[in-house]
A and B are shown apart, each in its own frame.
Chain A
Amino acid sequence: MYIFSCKPRWEDMLTCIYEASASKMGHTNIKLVLEPIEQYSLLDQYIHVDSDLKKAECVMKSIREKISPQVYRELAYASMAYEEEILDLIYRVLLVGFSYGPDVLNMVMYREIMQFNQIRRRLGREVNHFQEFVRFHEVQKGLYVAHIEPKSRLVVALGPIFADRMPSEHFMIIDDIHKEALIHPKDEMYYLKPLNDSEYEQLLKTEEMNDTYTDLWKIFFESIAIRERANKKCQTSLFPLWTRKHAVEFMETSHN
């Protein structure tokens, strides 16, 4: 088995797909994985692929023309998912797609399409969770910073959502796991920035800066629940514990 590996970035992934199919080793003999690889196997041969913008563009163009721009969008969106098999699934979806055309994602009789759809739906739910549970802190007057710890690299998907919600505010969403920041200056387009250690250290302190409205929100959160209807199980299933890490209403008060 030949295993092609690349960094988890969309351009790298597209280049990896290009190299894999150009290798002519037979689709059943190859596998695509994302780095870092946790466990190498002795019998397989590993081939690392670096990003090449030309090759990536070539794959992008052929997906958009031979399948459809909509399917390209779906694949690019799904590439944010944390599941390690996602790159291989995208490759398999493309194989089916090049023979069936734009309806490929409805071909649920293929196991790989079904699996891809499941991951896509799970990712959609995860993005929804963070759309709901992101909590901003006012760091300075008119500057808002939020921290999240998602499983997938989804901070870029939150960009259009919050840029539409608060077009005329300065804000920043920081992905603590993948060390990336989404930065939105007032009335401008947002952009993505990888963070180095010193920047990250500095930004970590923002969560301690609670203000009166954080306290007011906690008061509201307590008093809006009806005691006679208490249902912790329901609350936990709708607001899973792993998504609560930065939700101020569940954090201990740490006032300076």
Chain B
Amino acid sequence: MIEARQLTKTFRDRKRGEIRAVEGVSFRVEPGQIYGLLGANGAGKTTTLRLLATLLQPTRGGATVAGFDVVTQPAEVRARVGFLAASTALYARLTARETLAYFGRLNGMAEADIAARTRSLADDLGMHDFLDRRCDKFSTGMKQKTSIARTLIHDPPVMIFDEPTLGLDVMAARTIVQFVRECRARGKTVIYSTHIMSEVEKLCDVIGIIHDGRLLAEGSLASLRASYRENDLEEIFVQAVGGLAAPAGGNVNPP
């Protein structure tokens, strides 16, 4: 489970002064649920997810991930999170097997467990052909699969995806989307950030619209459609961030 409580992150910039990247963001994601964080570039999606993954420390507020506090128990949190982003790359000079073993060891797994887990992940993802080849020789698809396996090696209960399909072709993006669905099916708590409307429509059980660091609207696709009296998610998004129409109640945060 993920629970964010008034998460706030302020950065100091020499030129622009204080920047509030995330402000008072609260939400809750249950196991077996995909929470979609929808927002434009610079809306605060990445910062929010980095706060949840304890890569950054909140300026105010807090969050609990898999029962652990992100501020006081960051290592415990990271041990229970699989984090996949467009910006999380693979070590070019390691093979896929070495990559998995490395992250398995860092997660405190025994060698036998790592070997067994690597086998089963390679079975699931179809990685046997390239398991012992170096990552710098991989196609995009192979890299995706290896990255997915890397996030899953320690079988974390919580998965955080930060625009994982960014820059991928249709087929590679489909692999990711399929994989996110499987995570839900296995009862994992999933949070997924993107600016692609169709991905949100296809995947997410709950959608949070984030803009300028604030969560402006939240709810299932159906409830958002109902509250904005609009079928098209893009229109709903524009209205939510532009404040063109006041939401008509439901699970919507005040703007």
Pairing of A with B: no
